[in-house]
Amino acid sequence: MLASSWLIWPIIIGSISMMVIIHESGHFLMARAFGMRVLRYSIGIGPVLFKYQPKNSATIFQVCAIPFLAYVQIDGMNPTDEIDPKDPALFANKSVFARIMTILAGPMANYVGASVLTFLLIMFGGVQREIPGPMVVGTIIEGSPASNAGIDLGDEVIEANGVAIHSFNELVEATRNRADQPTLYRVRRGEEVLPVMTITPHADATQGGRAVIGIVPQPTFTYDDATAGTALRYALIIPLTLTIAQAEGIADRVQHRSTEGMSSVIGMARHMRQQAREGTYAFVSTLVIISVALGFFNLLPFPALDGGRLVFLFFELITRRRANERVEAVIHMVGIVVLLCFAAYITIYRDIPG
């Protein structure tokens, strides 16, 4: 089991960083393909531990003390940069097509990475198929009725509202109409059946208003051998399916003004550790989800994200004139502040216990 290793946290940090490195490598490779000058390629942040500049190259490759995240500095990409109109290697002096492709290359690299991981996962791990099993608790939503009642991971719900429970679907049906009504649940913990618990489900707007107690089942899987063709098909389908699901999730949260299910880097790392407990297959599957999420998130038309930059580039493409550099710089700066504040909110109020 992957989580049994003392290296689990370095593996998690390294895995998250690798997703960002893949993203930034997409920007870097496309920029170089169009002849743009890249000033710096940094792995990690903080004080520089090691740097190297190849002969006759403008790019400084460096590794920093905090091996987390990465960034690429393309000359002339910042709207506030001084632009020499005679310098053909500047980002700002390239065609709008070249600039659009350079921005798109980061998110697209994440999608390629997700496809490669999916192919390898299916090819060597097989096609995961869920099989019916008892209602064993795999995840507990913090602060939920189940959490407050003392239900623990690994518990098996065997009865709800007087009805015997053999699966998650049966638990859903026994609970869905019990919003704000005290309901009796019987739970088995190991070999012991615990005293009856009284739990009051609450209505969940993200679940169509049905009543829930805040638990997710621990599924039971089997793995079917797959051919290279099957692995390739999944490698193409899975990233698209995940993108649709993430888009629907964002739309639902906006509609209900909810941050349910959203997580900071801390929460993401915790989730990865939990998946590592399930094994390598679950851990790699989580990396696929994160890679797609990073690509999709960066494509959102929000200032400071790649999608926000693309909005200005498509404006230029359509109108044949560039947006005001100062206005664009201010908008991106505001976007950065908003994103940092939102990340701080999610970290403090959702991912830090207490």
Per-residue pLDDT tens digits for 266-317: 778 888 887 887 789 999 999 999 999 999 999 999 999 999 999 999 999 9
Given a cut of 70, is residue 3 above it in pLDDT? no
Domain coordinates in residue numbering, the chain: 2-124+285-298, 131-221
Q: What is the CATH number of domain 131-221?
A: 2.30.42.10
Instruction: Please count the other Cβ atoms lying within 10 Å of the Cβ belonging to residue 280.
Output: 15
pLDDT of residue 23: 97
**pTM across the whole model:** 0.81
Mean pLDDT of 179-207: 92
Beta carbons within 8 Å of 259's beta carbon, 6+ residues apart: 253, 345, 346, 350
Mean pLDDT of 81-100: 93
Q: Which helix (H) or strand (E) holds 331?
A: helix 325-346
Q: Which residues does residue 29 pair with via DSSP β-bridges, in sequence order?
A: none
Mean pLDDT of 58-78: 90
Instruction: Please count the other Cβ atoms lying within 10 Å of the Cβ belonging to residue 278.
Output: 18
Beta carbons within 8 Å of 348's beta carbon, 6+ residues apart: none
Amino acid residing at 352 = I
For residue 235 the two structure tokens come to 């490698």
Whether residue 27 contacts residue 99, with contact meaning beta carbons closer than 8 Å, is answered with no
> What's the pLDDT tens digit per position in 331-352?
999 999 999 898 888 878 766 6
The mean pLDDT value of the chain amounts to 90
Radius of gyration of the chain (CA): 24
pLDDT of residue 2: 58
Exposed, middle or buried, 317 (CB in 10 Å: 0-12/13-18/19+)?
middle
pLDDT of residue 11: 85
226-227-229 Cα angle (round to 5)? 120
